[in-house]
Structures are given as C-alpha cells and as structure tokens.
C-alpha cells in the first residue's frame, strides 16, 4: 500500500506566533481577577467592543461588559458556580459595546486556583449573532405554541362543558317525551273506550255520520301509533345505554328479522336476498341493529309497488379502512328525494300518506346510526325503488 505524500507545509505555519494567535484568534479572550476585574483582553474582543486596552484593563470588570440583565444572571448564577465548581459553560449573554449596541456571545469560563485560593478567571467568548437570530425565532415559536396550547385547552374545556350541557338537555328532552307520551296515553285510552261506548249506545241519523265515525277512529288510531312510536324511541335509547356493543353475526340476525316480518305481513310473496360474505359481522348493540334493520326491511315491504312482489337485497361490504357499508335495496314505490330529501329523517314526516305509518322509522334509523358514529345515505327513483346505504365504523 503506497502512502500519499504529505502536502508540503510552509514552515512558518508550524511555528505559529502564539501572541498573534491569542490577539487575533477568531474568538474573544479575556482574563480577570476572581472579582471580575479585567487584566488581559485579546485584540479580537477589543475590536468587538470598541474599547482600547487602556480603558478596560484594571478599570473595568467582566460583568460591566454585559447588559444589566446578563450581569444579574452572571452575578447570581455564574459567579457562584465559578467559585463552587471552577467552571461555567455555554452561557448565552449580550455584550454591551462602547457605542451602546449589543453583541450576542456564548461565554465559557474557567477559574484557576493558586494553592486553593482563586487566582484568575479565563474567559472565551464566541460571537453568535446569526445563531442568536435563529434562537430568538425558536423562542418566539415556542412561546406562540405554548400560548396556543393554552388557548386550545381553554377551547377544549368549553367544548367539554357545552357537550355535557347538550347531553343533559338531550336526556331531559327524552325524559320529557317519555313523560308526555305516558301522560297522554291514559286520557287517550279513555277516549277510545268512551267513543266505543258512544258508538254502541248512540244512534246517528246524519247520512255522513258513518264516514265521520270512521275518520274519528282513524285519527284515534294515528295518535295511539304516534305515542307508541315516541315511547319506543325513548325506551330504545334507554336500553342502548345499558347494553354493550358486540360483533353481531349478520346472517342469522337478519334471517330472524325476516322471519318475524313474514309472520306480520304474510300475504305479499316477498323475496329476500341476503349476502354478508364480505363482512359477516357488524359491531353494534343488538337492539340498535335490530331496530335499524327492522325499520328498513319493514319499510321495504310496506312501501312495495302495487302489482310487483317486493324484492329486498341486504348486503355488507368494506367501505374504507375505517368503515363498513350495510345496504338495503328494495324495488318499491321509491321516494321523490328532490321534494322530500331534506325531510326524510325528520320525526313524523310521511311521504306515502296512502300507506299507514307513524313517521318514526327513518327518524329512528338515522338517530341510531349517528349514535353509532356512522351516517345514512339514500338513493331512490320513484317507481323503481330505494337503496339505503349505512356507513358504520369498523
């Protein structure tokens, strides 16, 4: 292996003048008595400060070259540290020049002792003008970040308290609805009984009376249905708060609902197409999922197009990384979304007055899906059918 020849050194470089190295080093040097009195400074430092050697040596002390704030810090932190520990490192201070301007420096100092007695302090100072600018920038950013984090915490607190308030109001509302529907039930049942008694005992002579009696019966039934629906919403809500979320096997769960629906609506020859192979289970509460499926499937049967046996497809599919999709598609009447889209999930809204219903179903579905952290999307064509797509967290 051949060795590279060393570059030829100019002899003058190997014998560098130590005095010149001290005087014109790329950093400031000074030596002080233990009390800080300056005894020696290099030319670099004098040039930085704008003082002559005569002005400073034996007349000034190191601390007087610092700004007042830096001097206070030096007296309370560096001076004791030097006496106790013999050195200080990387203190960031501002030097005060003769013309009043300041120079940011990093100060290192060592205390030399003579037979245990403090003798002299050697100090090196590095110009950190540029670095200081970055540091100021960092400090500003840090202060800003701290302020923002305080503001965020405050905003968060507010949100939490508002959330608590809303939750309380919601609970109060539920409780109000429950009480109101409960209190209405008794007089209503009385009305039903009284009316039945009236029909039995009274004789109406008006030819339109029979029709009016029928309309009154219908109206009574509607109020009873509505109140039953309200009670169901509140009871379901209370139940949901007590049962756990679990992975519900979709196929058996849905088949059970289909079976119960066929018992209630046996006549229509409906067909169901269930496919949960892509996502076999959904994480929900059982009563919540039951209510969602029951309402969507019974709607599909109730709002079937005349002369066309209902055909309902129920599927699950992965949606994205965090969500799964549950879709229910029918071939029924369809809904005019242009007209009713905005009201679709409102309580007591009905879009097919010719078919009996309480206007609760979709309201309940939407509410349950929202509570589970999901959302409901609808696509529909009048005369062809409706598809509900429910996006649920995995």
**Residue 233 interacting with another protein (CB under 8 A):** no
**Residue 173 interacting with another protein (CB under 8 A):** no
Binder to another protein among 17, 52, 67, 148 (CB under 8 A)? 67
Q: Is 344 strand, coil or helix?
A: coil
- What is the full DSSP assignment across 246-291? EEEEHHHHHHHHHHHHHHHSGGG--EEEEE-SSS-EEEE-HHHHHH
Binder to another protein among 41, 49, 70, 257 (CB under 8 A)? 70
Separation in Å, CA 338 to CA 98, 381, 383: 81, 10, 14
Shortest distance, CB of residue 114 to another protein, whole angstroms? Answer: 16
Give 284's contacts (C-beta < 8 A, 6+ positions apart): 245, 246, 248, 292, 372, 392
Residues facing residue 250 across a β-bridge: none
| Cβ(377)–Cβ(386) below 8 Å | no
Binder to another protein among 69, 193, 214, 218 (CB under 8 A)? 69
Q: Are strands 271-275 and 311-318 parallel, antiparallel or unpaired?
A: parallel
| Cβ(93)–Cβ(75) below 8 Å | no
Shortest distance, CB of residue 97 to another protein, whole angstroms? Answer: 16
Binder to another protein among 21, 39, 58, 139 (CB under 8 A)? 139
- DSSP letter assigned to residue 37: B
| Segment interacting with another protein (CB under 8 A) among 73-81, 185-193, 263-271, 302-310 | 73-81
In the numeric block, which tokens belong to residue 154?
A: 């405050």
- DSSP letter assigned to residue 305: P
**Interacting positions 23-42 with another protein (CB under 8 A):** 34-37
Binder to another protein among 80, 187, 218, 341 (CB under 8 A)? 80
**Of 17 and 59, which has the nearer Cβ to another protein?**
59
**Residue 153 interacting with another protein (CB under 8 A):** no
Backbone angles phi, psi at 26, to 5 degrees: -75, 25
| Segment interacting with another protein (CB under 8 A) among 63-71, 268-276, 284-292, 381-389 | 63-71
In the numeric block, which tokens belong to residue 337?
A: 């979304």
Radius of gyration of the chain (CA): 44
Shortest distance, CB of residue 163 to another protein, whole angstroms? Answer: 23
**Residue 125 interacting with another protein (CB under 8 A):** no
| Cβ(96)–Cβ(65) below 8 Å | yes
Using CB under 8 A, count the residues that bind another protein: 31
Each residue 91-120 as x (binds another protein by CB under 8 A) or -, in order, gives xxxx--------------------------
What are the residues binding another protein (CB under 8 A)?
Answer: 34-37, 61, 63, 67-73, 75-77, 79-81, 83-85, 91-94, 132, 135, 138-139, 142
């Amino acid at each position: 292996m051949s060795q590279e020849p060393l570059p030829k050194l100019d002899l003058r470089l190997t014998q560098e003048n130590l005095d010149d190295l001290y005087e014109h080093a790329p950093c400031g040097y000074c030596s002080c008595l233990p009390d800080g009195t300056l005894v020696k400074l290099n030319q670099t430092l004098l040039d930085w400060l704008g003082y002559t050697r005569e002005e400073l040596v034996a007349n000034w002390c190191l601390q007087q070259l610092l700004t007042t704030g830096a001097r206070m810090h030096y007296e309370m932190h560096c001076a004791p540290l030097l006496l106790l520990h013999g050195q200080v490192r990387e203190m960031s201070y501002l030097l005060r020049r003769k013309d009043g301007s300041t120079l940011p420096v990093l100060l290192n100092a060592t205390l030399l002792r003579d037979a245990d007695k403090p003798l002299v302090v050697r100090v090196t100072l590095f110009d950190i003008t540029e670095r200081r600018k970055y540091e100021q920038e960092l400090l500003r950013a840090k202060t800003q970040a701290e302020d923002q984090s305080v503001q965020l915490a405050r905003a968060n607190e507010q949100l939490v308290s508002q959330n608590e308030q809303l939750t309380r109001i919601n609970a109060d509302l539920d409780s109000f609805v429950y009480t109101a529907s409960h209190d209405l039930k008794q007089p209503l049942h009385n009305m039903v009984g009284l009316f039945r008694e009236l029909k039995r005992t009274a004789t109406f002579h008006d030819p339109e009376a029979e029709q009016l009696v029928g309309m009154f019966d219908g109206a009574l039934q509607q109020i009873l249905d509505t109140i039953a629906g309200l009670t169901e919403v509140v009871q379901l809500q209370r139940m949901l708060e007590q049962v756990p979320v679990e992975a519900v096997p979709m196929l058996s769960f849905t088949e059970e609902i289909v079976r119960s629906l066929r018992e209630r609506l046996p006549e229509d020859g409906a067909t169901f197409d269930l496919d949960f192979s892509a996502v076999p289970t959904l994480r929900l509460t059982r009563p919540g999922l039951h209510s969602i499926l029951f309402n969507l499937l019974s709607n599909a049967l109730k709002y079937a197009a005349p002369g066309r046996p209902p055909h309902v497809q129920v599927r699950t599919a992965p949606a994205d990384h965090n969500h799964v999709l549950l879709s229910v598609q029918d071939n029924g009447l369809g809904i005019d979304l242009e007209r009713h889209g905005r009201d679709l999930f409102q309580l007591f809204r009905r879009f097919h007055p010719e078919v009996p219903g309480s206007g609760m179903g979709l309201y309940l579905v939407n509410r349950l899906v929202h509570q589970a952290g999901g959302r409901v999307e609808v696509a529909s064509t009048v005369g062809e059918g409706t598809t509900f797509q429910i996006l649920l967290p995995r």
